[in-house]
Chain A
Amino acid sequence: MPSPAKVLATLTVNAQEHQVAFAPHKSLLEVLREDLGLTGTKHGCELGECGTCAVQVDGVPVLSCLVLALESVGKQIATVEGMADGPELHPLQVAFAELGAAQCGYCTPGILLTAEALLREDRAPDRQTIRRALAGNLCRCTGYLKIYEAVELAAARLRGEPAEPARETVRGH
């Protein structure tokens, strides 16, 4: 059984255009990881249940395991590799690092992309709003608390408030 012929398409990832040849049945996740070498986007359940493959397409979080790469042609795809501005980390990335909200790190890219989309819509989300926004992203390490606190910390800094992590968060007492 021969493999299906590849198609040549242009994908715009993190504001860069890539000409890439891939089998037309491939998901956006597979093309990002296997054909573009962008392995920051993680491969989890392939069923749309775990959220670790979340990227943004035209600013909206989508599960890249459930989207064909061909459907994403002509759209703006954003992955974790594009979050930092050169050496300057995005405030969400800084907060996740500071608070230990990234432990094993496997769910982190999907959560960062989902949270970034939330903070563009809602500059001051309450805890319940953050929980709802991240409900599709599973994390087995942190128990979610540090993740919620990191999103709140990043949101405060993005609003220009000189926010520091709560003492209890970083010291446990």
Chain B
Amino acid sequence: MGTEGGDRHHGADPRDLRVIGQPLLKVDARSKVTGATQFADDLSLPRMLYMKLLRSTEAHARIVRIDTSEAEALAGVHAVITGADLPIPFGILPVSQDEHALCPEKVRMIGDPVAAVAAVDEEVALRACQLIAVEYEPLRPIGSRRASKL
């Protein structure tokens, strides 16, 4: 170290630096330790709606049809959408624009999201999800490398 340290800081004595190399409080340290920091789940707005996802019960299947009419008719439900409402794929990288927020035609795991409900509260949204009828045509799930060769 010795003389090299001086060069690293363009000749400045590290002891004179007010930020570099100094222990500093994070700008949000106080709000983090007092519980004041607002995370997404902590936000509450007037007339806020709650969203619930209906997820696939099949590991691998084609979605034949989704009937959302009963869910939409439930009091307190504001919107029900499925993969058909979100046809444009997206992705973090420009080369992999192949993701869908809701499965458009096929589910590839138990838990794949197939529909979303927005409602006045969590319980109504959950009940609406239970009223959505999804007809699946099961496909052979491939659970291992060996199964993929058959």
Contacts and interface: CB of A to CB of B under 8 A. Distances in A.
Interface of A: 1, 3, 33-34, 37-43, 79-81, 83-84, 89, 93-94, 96-98, 100, 102-103, 105-106, 108-109, 112, 165, 170-171
Interface centre among B30, B32, B38 (most CB of A within 10 A): B32
Nearest to A165: B23
B147 interface: no
Interface residues of B, number: 21
B13 interface: no
Contacts of B37: 105
A147 to B, nearest CB: 12
Contacts of A3: 123
B29 interface: yes
Interface of B: 21, 23, 25-26, 28-39, 41-42, 44, 123, 127
Given A39-B38, A40-B34, A81-B34, 4 more contacts: A33-B42, A83-B34, A97-B33, A102-B32
Nearest to B37: A105
A84 B21 CA distance: 30
Contacts of B23: 98, 165, 170-171
B61 to A, nearest CB: 29
